[in-house]
């Protein structure tokens, strides 16, 4: 097993208790510590996902000049609990023609990749479950399981809208997976490693500054993977009711929603690790010192707590930005969505990898100054590329000819 729990504080505490006090086997200590950490991480992230529903509704309310949920508990904070209770007491309906087993399994499969990705995310200095040497690839691979869940839900519902919705969603997710993986490749090239911990440690400057093109492609592609605005084809009620969610009700629907919102948090964590220096905070002290707001204490525990704080802060930034985008942009049509993936993002992501690869050949282990030069070149390239893409590529803003036009889909 690559990169275990040896550096983890909880592991060391459990190890001390189980092996040294009780005299049990060391693998048992490993097992217990892993279970404890998994319990904390999974529940913590699911609670954050639940809270994110509240956060998004409140912030959206602000953007739209209204209040949002504010009656249940202080500031409406208990609204997610009220929602969950409501969903649990609803009748659980399974359509008559549906494949009952697959229909019920789909929400569970939907939640699986969300939780699996958590295994390799470093939430703070030395606090991760596993440091895989293929971490970045692991994200792409595990994320692919979502497609299967969508297809299961759409097909098992035995509903035309659900099937169409799932096919559209899958066509979109599969198309955006390619620029997403290419953006991840750019990060891998820059850090010369696929391990998430190594990527964080290699970021003397945040990769958001060093590789703006890659970060932009990643953000766009991840919003499509998350089914978020402006790629939320599921919410196109006038075209497909609610897509593959049409037949779902009660807690099954709740699990889908939970997965969707938790996925946003997890995507924020991935973005923080890959592009925002993860748990580090060196933007304002680029000489590599780790001075932060708790820096004056200069003890291990303070630095540990601070690293967690910065990580959560960056996840929060992503969550806010995601809500901001949702409040700002209208939804794209499915053909525009696919055009954007293939005509704009795919070439841009290739360009990104090409430029970064050349730069890494010139500066194999970049220092802060060299990263700064790379950033300057990359910003120029990104600006030129966006200009060219905007001039050359048309997403087809007119209504499509053919079947869509015949039934008046706009």
Partner 1 sequence: MAGNLFEEIIFWLLAATTIGAALLVVHVQSLFRAALLLIVSFLGVAGIFAMVNAEFLAVAQVLIYVGGIAVLVIFAVMLTRDVDRGNLGTPVQPVALLLAAVLLGTLTYAVVQAEWRLLPEDLPGPLAAVFVDTPAQLGRLLVRDFVLAFEVAGALLFAAVIGALALVRER
Q: Residues interacting with partner 1, by CB under 8 A?
A: 1-2, 4, 25, 27, 30-31, 99, 101-102, 132-134, 137-138, 140-145, 147-148, 151-152, 155-156, 163, 167, 170, 174, 177, 193-194
- Helix axis angle, 145-156 relative to 160-191, nearest 10°? 180
Q: How far is the CB of 294 from partner 1 (least distance, A)?
A: 34
Peptide bond into 226 cis (omega under 30): no
Q: Confirm if 165 and 244 have CB atoms less than 8 A apart.
A: yes
Q: How far is the CB of 287 from partner 1 (least distance, A)?
A: 29
Nearer to partner 1, 112 or 242 (CB): 112
Tokens for 164? 């169409």
Nearer to partner 1, 87 or 136 (CB): 136
Nearer to partner 1, 30 or 54 (CB): 30
Nearer to partner 1, 48 or 151 (CB): 151
CA angle, 360 then 364 then 370, to 5°: 75
Report phi then psi at 124, rounded to 5.
Answer: -170, -175
Burial class (CB in 10 A: 0-12, 13-18, 19+), 238: exposed
Nearer to partner 1, 91 or 365 (CB): 365
Q: Confirm if 266 and 307 have CB atoms less than 8 A apart.
A: no
Nearer to partner 1, 287 or 361 (CB): 361
Q: Which residue is it, tokens 């249940």?
A: 72
Give the C-alpha distances (Å, rounded to integers) separating 334 from 2, 263, 401.
Answer: 41, 22, 14
Nearer to partner 1, 28 or 294 (CB): 28
Q: How far is the CB of 190 from partner 1 (least distance, A)?
A: 14
CB atoms near residue 247 (< 10 Å): 23
Q: How far is the CB of 393 from partner 1 (least distance, A)?
A: 18
Nearer to partner 1, 312 or 345 (CB): 345
Q: How far is the CB of 233 from partner 1 (least distance, A)?
A: 17
CA gap 233, 147 in Å, rounded = 14
Give the C-alpha distances (Å, rounded to integers) separating 301 from 13, 270, 285, 297, 307.
Answer: 14, 24, 21, 9, 10
How many helices (H) and strands (E) in the chain? 17, 0
Q: How far is the CB of 194 from partner 1 (least distance, A)?
A: 6
CA angle, 195 then 198 then 199, to 5°: 85
Q: How far is the CB of 118 from partner 1 (least distance, A)?
A: 16
Q: How far is the CB of 144 from partner 1 (least distance, A)?
A: 3
Q: How far is the CB of 4 from partner 1 (least distance, A)?
A: 7
Tokens for 400? 């499509």
CA gap 225, 217 in Å, rounded = 12
391 pairs with which residues across the strands?
none
CA gap 27, 31 in Å, rounded = 6
Closest residue by Cα to residue 263 from 235, 217, 232, 226: 226
CA gap 221, 224 in Å, rounded = 5
Nearer to partner 1, 4 or 404 (CB): 4
Q: How far is the CB of 151 from partner 1 (least distance, A)?
A: 5
Nearer to partner 1, 252 or 314 (CB): 252
């Amino acid at each position: 097993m690559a990169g275990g729990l040896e550096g983890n504080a909880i592991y060391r505490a459990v190890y001390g208790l189980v092996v040294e006090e009780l005299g049990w086997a060391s693998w048992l200590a490993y097992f217990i510590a892993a279970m404890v950490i998994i319990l904390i991480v999974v529940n913590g992230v699911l609670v954050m996902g639940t809270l994110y529903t509240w956060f998004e509704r409140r912030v959206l309310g602000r953007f739209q000049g209204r209040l949002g949920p504010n009656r249940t508990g202080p500031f409406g904070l208990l609204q997610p609990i009220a929602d969950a209770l409501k969903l649990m007491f609803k009748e659980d309906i399974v359509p008559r023609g549906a494949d009952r087993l697959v229909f019920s399994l789909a929400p569970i499969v939907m939640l699986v990749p969300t939780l699996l990705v958590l295994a390799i995310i470093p939430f703070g200095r030395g606090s991760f479950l596993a440091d895989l040497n293929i971490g970045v690839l692991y994200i792409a691979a595990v994320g692919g399981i979502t497609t299967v869940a969508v297809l299961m839900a759409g097909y098992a519902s035995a509903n035309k809208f659900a099937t169409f919705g799932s096919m559209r969603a899958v066509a979109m997710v599969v198309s955006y997976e390619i620029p997403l993986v290419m953006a991840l490749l750019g990060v891998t090239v820059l850090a010369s490693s696929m391990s998430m911990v190594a990527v964080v440690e290699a970021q003397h400057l945040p990769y958001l500054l060093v590789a703006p093109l890659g970060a932009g492609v990643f953000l766009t592609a991840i919003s499509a993977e998350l089914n978020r605005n402006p790629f939320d084809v599921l919410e196109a009620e006038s075209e497909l009711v609610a897509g593959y969610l049409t037949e779902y009700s009660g807690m099954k629907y709740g699990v889908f929603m939970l997965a969707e919102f938790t996925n946003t948090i997890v995507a924020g964590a991935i973005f923080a690790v890959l592009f925002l220096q993860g748990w580090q905070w060196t933007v304002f002290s680029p000489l590599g010192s780790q001075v932060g707001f708790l820096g004056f204490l200069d003890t291990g525990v303070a630095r540990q707590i601070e690293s967690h704080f910065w990580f959560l802060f960056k996840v929060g930034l992503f969550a806010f930005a995601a809500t901001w985008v949702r409040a700002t942009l209208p939804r794209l049509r499915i053909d525009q969505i696919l055009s954007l993936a293939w005509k704009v993002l795919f070439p841009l992501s290739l360009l990104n990898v090409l430029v970064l690869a050349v730069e890494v050949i010139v500066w194999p282990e970049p220092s802060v100054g060299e990263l700064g030069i790379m950033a300057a070149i990359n910003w120029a390239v990104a600006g030129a590329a966006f200009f060219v893409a905007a001039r050359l590529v048309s997403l087809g803003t007119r209504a499509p000819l053919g079947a869509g036009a015949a039934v008046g889909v706009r």
